[in-house]
Amino acid sequence: MKKVLPLVFAFLGWISGNVSAQQQPAPPDIVFGDLFVDVQMNKVFPDGKTFVDCVPKRDPKAIVADYAKMKKSAKKAKTEVDLKKFIEDNFEIPAAPNSDYKSDASEDVTMHIKKLWSVLKRPADKPVAGSSLLALPNPYIVPGGRFREIYYWDSYFTMLGLKESGENEMIENMIKNFAYLINTYGHIPNGARTYYLGRSQPPFFACMVQLLAEVKGDGVYTTYLPALEKEYQFFMEGADQLKPGEVHRRVVKLADGTILNRYWDDMETPRQESYREDFEVAQKSGRDIIEMYHHLRAGAESGIDFSSRWFADDASINTIQTTDYIAVDLNSLLYNLEKVLALSYKNMKSDNIKISSENTTKAAAYELKAEKRRKAIEKYCWNDKAGYYADYNFKLNKSEDNITLAAMYPLFFSLADRDRAAQTKTIVLNNLLKPGGLSTTMYKTGEQWDAPNGWAPLQWMAIQGLERYGFSEDARNVAHRWIKLNVNVYKRTGKLMEKYNVVDTHLDAGGGEYPGQDGFGWTNGVLLKLINVYGMPSE
pLDDT at 101: 60
In this prediction, residue 116 carries a pLDDT of 94
Closest to 469 measured CA to CA, from 383, 518, 410: 410
Question: Could you tell me the domains of the chain?
Answer: 10-92 (no CATH), 109-227+241-534 (1.50.10.10)
Pairwise CA distance, residues 329 & 332, whole Å: 5
What count of Cα atoms within 13 Å lies in the side-chain half-sphere of residue 381? Answer: 33
Q: What is the pLDDT of residue 240?
A: 96
Contact 203, 234 (CB under 8 A): no
pLDDT for 97 equals 65
If the chain, 539 residues long, is cut into consecutive pieces of 10 residues, what is the mean pLDDT of each piece? 43 44 81 98 96 97 97 93 97 77 74 95 94 98 95 98 98 98 98 98 98 97 97 98 98 98 97 98 98 98 98 98 98 99 89 80 97 98 97 97 97 98 98 98 97 98 98 98 97 94 91 76 97 92
State the DSSP code for 133.
B
Query: Which amino acid is present at 186?
Result: G
pTM: 0.94
Neighbours of 261 (CB within 10 A): 20
Q: What residues are annotated to the active site?
A: 305, 498
pLDDT, residue 20, reads 47
CB 59 within 8 A of CB 52: no
Q: What is the pLDDT of residue 463?
A: 99
Which amino acid is present at 363?
A: A
Write down the H helix ranges in 319-447. 328-347, 353-380, 409-412, 418-432
